[in-house]
Structure 1
């Protein structure tokens, strides 16, 4: 029961109820003023404006809440844009990092869009992500075998390697797969 009460969805409902009560109180105040006011024309326009403003405000709050809602994640994971992330402090090579994520029913980091990268902009070091270069055609593929697209991420060749690390510069960097780095696992909310 405590987990349910602390969930983002429950807290969102509380915010929505509080905003609805706030809206009704404001309408009540404006209606009271309107009834007690003789110059009906200007005040009626003010009440309509206030109601429109309050409805707009409520809609924005609900949109922000629903857009940012992320389901429950495992303990010590961080939720952002409907994905759960775990930032590992241990350094492993790419293959060990991938295996570590898989043992937790997750995969190494995958960047879906530039918007996703906003979440990672404050990272101070390199982290393994789920990109691997296919030596035959030198194309980059995610762990799920999908091809890296230019609108997801741009790659910078720094080292002679076929694996990739991510840093706060909104770029992926080539890295030798046997080099130890920290890593980021990701999964869908539970």
Structure 2
């Protein structure tokens, strides 16, 4: 009987040791996944999203560069316009009228530059048909815009064949402070050139002309 008890006791000890070993093995196996699930710190930061501060700074730099470029462009436009700007002649400095349609109005006088070429007498007749006369220079101050004229036009100035003096259509004598006459050859009629200068011309030659209505 004692041998049987000893045998059962031995088997029980063996089974208990086997059960304890399996329990330890199972516990060790279950601890391994928990270690694998533990998060690790990433050492590579190249793929990280930029911080809000970095984005804000980038936007601010881009807007600053854009603003500088726009300022430079606007400054160039303003400087270019200032260098190329020509002071316009005001044709309505005071009350001016009434003038025919499409005529220039300047300091209470009306002017028209006709582009068709005619002789002096034909030009005179054309001006008369518009209730006007050929151009008369009576004041460099009141007609100062004529100093900018660059082409030649008939004006109402002819030479008196008897006295040799130059006179306007209304019979008044040319004054030295009105025009400077330049002899360009034989001719008893005058062309207006520029800078208040008159040029002798054959009256039968064809030229453009300027008509004038003096409203004073």
TM-score in terms of structure 1 length: 0.62
Q: What's the counterpart of residue 112 of structure 2?
A: 86
- Structure scoring higher RCO (CA < 8 A, sep ≥ 6) equals 1
- Residue 88 of structure 1 aligns to a residue whose secondary structure is strand
Indicate conservation of the 8 Å contact 1:117/1:170, yes or no. Answer: no
RMSD over aligned CA atoms reads 1.8
1:46-103 superposed Cα distances (whole Å, 9 cap, x missing partner): xxxxxxxxxxxxxxxxxxxx96321231101001111100100101010000000011
1:177 to 193, 203, 207: 203
Alignment of 1:66-85 (within 5 A): 68-85=94-111
Q: Distance in 2 between matches of 1:76 and 1:67?
A: 17
Please give the alpha-carbon distance, in whole angstroms, between the structure 1 residues aligned to 2:175 and 2:157. 12
Tell me the secondary structure at the aligned position of residue 149 of structure 1. coil
Could you list the runs of 4 or more consecutive aligned residues of structure 1 that deviate by over 2 angstroms after TM superposition? Answer: 66-69
Contact 1:155/1:172 (CA < 8 Å) preserved in 2? Answer: yes
Q: Which aligned pairs between 1:1-190 and structure 2 lie closer than 5 A? A: 68-189=94-215
- Classify 1:118/1:183 alpha carbon distance in 2 versus 1 (closer, same or farther; 3 Å): same
Aligned partners of 1:113 and 1:153 also within 8 Å = no
Larger radius of gyration: 2
1-structure distance, mates of 2:118, 2:163: 27
TM-score by length of 2: 0.55
